[in-house]
């Protein structure tokens, strides 16, 4: 069976990203049979909503049971190439979304003053 990836998210009520904002709908793009294609769609949605602090999108692997925090410091705000040319950082896997979110928050807070830093939670 081929793997399937989805880009899921939307505009939330606050930065806990737990409840979709009134009048907004959960966006679910896909399926993508290739992680790279899903990542391209995620990046497009992230850039489309970059000025909305309540917008959040993540990549989910269908039937996944673990999570990973992915990101790093990039060369610019297109977030397509890491500053050092190395692969993106990958933290985890984590058994629950809450564990991954705690790591994501720690990474985001550690780089809060760097406009070229970006991290996301991927469902494995």
Does the domain formed by 1-63 have CATH 3.40.720? no
Distance CA 50, CA 66 (A): 26
Report the pLDDT averaged over residues 12-29: 90
Q: Are 51 and 89 in contact (CB under 8 A)?
A: no
Handedness of CA 94, 95, 99, 100 (dihedral sign): positive
Q: At residue 1, does pLDDT exceed 60?
A: no
pTM score, two decimals? 0.62
Q: Which of 53, 58, 57 is nearest to 14 (CA)?
A: 53
Distance CA 99, CA 68 (A): 9
Beta bridge partners of 116: none
- Over the stretch 28-68, which tens digit does the pLDDT of each residue have? 999 999 999 999 999 999 999 999 999 999 998 888 778 99
What percent of the chain stands above pLDDT 90? 70
Residues 6+ positions from 100 with CB-CB distance below 8 Å? 67, 68, 69, 92, 94, 121
| SS3 sequence of 69-80 | EEEEEECCCCCC
- pLDDT for res 27: 95
Structural domain boundaries in the chain: 1-63, 70-124
């Amino acid at each position: 069976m081929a793997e399937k990836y989805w880009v899921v998210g939307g505009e939330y009520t606050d930065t806990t990203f737990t409840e979709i904002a009134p009048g907004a709908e959960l966006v679910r793009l896909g399926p993508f049979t290739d992680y790279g294609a899903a990542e391209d769609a995620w990046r497009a949605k992230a850039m489309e909503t970059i000025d909305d602090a309540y917008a959040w999108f993540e990549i989910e692997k269908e039937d996944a049971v673990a999570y990973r925090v992915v990101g790093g410091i990039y060369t610019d705000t297109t977030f397509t190439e890491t500053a050092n040319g190395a692969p993106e950082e990958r933290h985890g896997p984590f058994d629950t979304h809450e564990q991954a979110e705690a790591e994501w928050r720690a990474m985001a807070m550690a780089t809060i003053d760097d406009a070229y830093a970006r991290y996301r939670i991927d469902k494995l």
